């Protein structure tokens, strides 16, 4: 477990003794497809590092429909900000997409380590700040862009994160989850992908997307 934790940004600077302490306060969990890690309202006693697969964070809308808040991929931590609350509960549900593995880290024990490590505190603050900026951008996108702009933005972001040298990538989660993440219906997502394909901007082959005209697709972010 030392190697898995040591590769994560939050723990990468820790010395051998500190890393051993994190290992002692952690446990490894395996989840099948659709397996629930925690539900909204559960007591938040641990935060998590994804080491394989993906974890879906979601809430139920008053209508009963699921709203996907975020997809957490391997190498990323989540729920760590809750350790600073006095009596924290998870505000979302966390479920596995396909088979996933996570490491659960005890909040109280990690807080004790934070009190001894200024650098770890600053790394945690940096991580939380980046997420805050990401959420602000997401709110702007959902507020200012229509469905076409949201889908174009998603495709561009996915291409840049998956492969900087190629505009070809695989959709690694169901389209229904992507649609929920973008606050559109699955039908709207399918129509939008078809529309972009008909315009010659992308090619859709099953769950694989190839961006054929990056500049024109990027223009859809601002002129849709």
pLDDT class of 224 with cuts at 50, 70, 90: low
173 φ/ψ sector (left φ>0, alpha ψ -120 to 50, else beta): beta
Contacts (Cβ under 8 Å, ≥6 apart) of 40: 59, 60, 89, 90, 91, 92, 93
Query: 89 φ, ψ to 5°?
Result: -130, 150
* pLDDT average, residue stretch 169-181: 91
- pLDDT digit string, tens, across residues 186-203: 999 999 999 999 999 999
Looking at CATH, the fold of the domain delimited by 2-133 is given as Jelly Rolls (2.60.120)
Quote the pTM value. Answer: 0.78
Position 108 scores a pLDDT of 93
Mean pLDDT computed over every residue of the chain: 88
| DSSP letters spanning 81-114 | GGGGSSS-B-SSEEEEEEEEEEEEEEHHHHHHHH
Distances (CA, A) of 27 to 101, 102, 185, 203: 11, 8, 37, 42
Q: Tell me: the pLDDT tens digits for 70-81?
A: 999 999 999 998
In the structure, what pLDDT confidence band is assigned to residue 131 with cuts at 50, 70 and 90? confident
The mean pLDDT of 166-175, rounded to a whole number, is 87
Residue 165 has what pLDDT? 63
User: Backbone phi, then psi, for 185, in 5-degree steps?
Assistant: -85, 155
Q: In terms of CATH architecture, what is 145-219?
A: Orthogonal Bundle (1.10)
Q: Over 60: is that where the pLDDT of 144 sits? A: no
| Residue 191: half-sphere exposure toward Cβ, Cα within 13 Å | 7
Residues of the chain with CATH 2.60.120.10: 2-133
Report yes or no: 196 and 152 within 8 Å, Cβ to Cβ: yes
pLDDT surpassing 70 at residue 143: no
The model's pLDDT over 199-216, given as tens digits with 9 standing for 90+, comes to: 999 999 999 999 999 889
- The CA distance from 156 to 160, in Å, is 6
**Measured distance CA(215)–CA(205) in Å, rounded:** 21
Using the 8-state DSSP alphabet, how is residue 43 labeled?
A: B
pLDDT at 99 exceeding the cut of 90:
yes
Which pLDDT band, with edges at 50, 70 and 90, does 178 fall under? very high
Q: How far apart are CA 4 and CA 165, in angstroms?
A: 27
As a whole number of angstroms, the distance between CA 114 and CA 163 comes to 35
Mean pLDDT of 137-156: 80
Strands 46-60 and 66-73: antiparallel
Q: How confident is the model at residue 222 (pLDDT cuts 50, 70, 90)?
A: low
pLDDT at 163: 63
Task: Locate CATH 1.10.10.10 in the chain.
Answer: 145-219
pLDDT in tens, 53-73: 999 999 988 877 889 999 999
Nearest CA-CA partner of 105 in 25, 50, 39, 28: 25
21-37 confidence digits (pLDDT tens): 999 999 999 999 999 99
Range with top average pLDDT, 9-18, 96-105, 138-147, 154-163:
96-105
The two beta strands, 208-211 and 202-205, are antiparallel
96 bridge partner residues = 55
Range in 3-7, 109-113, 135-139, 182-186 the model is least confident about:
135-139
């Amino acid at each position: 477990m030392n190697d898995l934790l040591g590769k994560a940004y939050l723990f990468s600077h820790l010395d051998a003794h500190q890393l051993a302490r994190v290992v002692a306060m952690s446990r490894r969990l395996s989840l099948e497809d659709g397996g629930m890690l925690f539900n909204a309202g559960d007591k938040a006693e641990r935060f998590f590092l994804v080491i394989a697969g993906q974890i879906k964070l979601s809430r139920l809308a008053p209508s009963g429909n699921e709203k996907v808040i975020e997809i957490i991929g391997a190498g990323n931590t989540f729920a760590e900000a809750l350790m600073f609350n006095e009596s924290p509960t998870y505000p979302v549900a966390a479920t596995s997409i396909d088979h996933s593995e996570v490491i659960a880290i005890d909040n109280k024990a990690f807080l004790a380590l934070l009190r001894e490590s200024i650098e770890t505190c600053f790394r945690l603050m940096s991580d939380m700040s980046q997420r805050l900026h990401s959420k602000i951008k997401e709110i702007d996108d959902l507020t200012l862009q229509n469905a076409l702009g949201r889908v174009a933005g998603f495709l561009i972001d996915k291409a840049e994160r998956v492969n900087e040298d190629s505009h070809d990538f695989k959709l690694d989660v169901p389209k229904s989850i992507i649609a929920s993440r973008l606050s559109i219906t699955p039908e709207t997502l399918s129509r939008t992908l078809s529309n972009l394909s008909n315009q010659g901007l992308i090619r859709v082959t099953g769950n694989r997307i190839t961006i054929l005209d990056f500049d024109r697709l990027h223009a859809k972010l601002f002129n849709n």
